[in-house]
Amino acid sequence: METERLILRRITEDDADNLVELDSDPEVMRYLSGGEPTSREKIVSEVLPRILSYTGDQGFFAAIEKSTEEFLGWFHLRAKHGEPEDEPELGYRLRKIAWGKGYATEGSVALIQKAFSELGARRVYAEALAVNITSRRVMEKAGLRYVRSFHVDRPEIPGSEQGVVEYELLRADWESLRRGPQAPG
């Protein structure tokens, strides 16, 4: 799948080094592990197998910058194991060099389009720590709307005591957004 500036392709075993580099940046991991890097051993033995367990049209996609062919991070569009296939979760994790350039929104919009137009999704949702304002802004720019907050027990992550927020976009709302404003009549 391609966007204006990105190639979104399936993550493969060959991406292990990219994933290790991504998860080694304390700023990238700030709202995920309190800044703790993910070890190579854990990437290879746990993270990558979990990523590769998603088959079919949903799963994890490496974000490659078209102009440089550089790995920028990843996106996922996947129903969590055991959850309804027509309600996939959207997620993203990008390297710092990609922050603030619109890549997260661009990739998210492309995967939302795929979810509704190709996969028959009824709903797409995303979650982030309430304190992760940047991620929340991406969700909003991609068309998702705030639904609820809930609490998690993650004392190792500063700000987690403020809870997690869930955003969603329903098929009917996505269709309305695509049609644009309707003239009064």
Domain 6-179, CATH class in plain words: alpha beta
Beta bridge partners of 170: 123
pLDDT computed for residue 181 by the predictor: 64
pTM of the model: 0.92
Please name the amino acid found at residue 69. E
Percent of the chain residues past pLDDT 90, beyond the cut: 82
> 36, 38, 35, 46: which is closest to 18 by C-alpha?
38
> 46 near 40, Cβ under 8 Å?
no
Question: Which helix (H) or strand (E) covers residue 101, if one does?
Answer: none
Mean pLDDT by 10 residues, the chain (185 residues): 97 97 95 92 96 91 98 95 91 97 98 96 97 97 97 85 95 87 56
pLDDT computed for residue 56 by the predictor: 84
pLDDT computed for residue 11 by the predictor: 97
pLDDT computed for residue 154 by the predictor: 85
- Segments making up each domain of the chain, as ranges: 6-179
Beta bridge partners of 149: 165
Strands 123-129 and 164-170: antiparallel
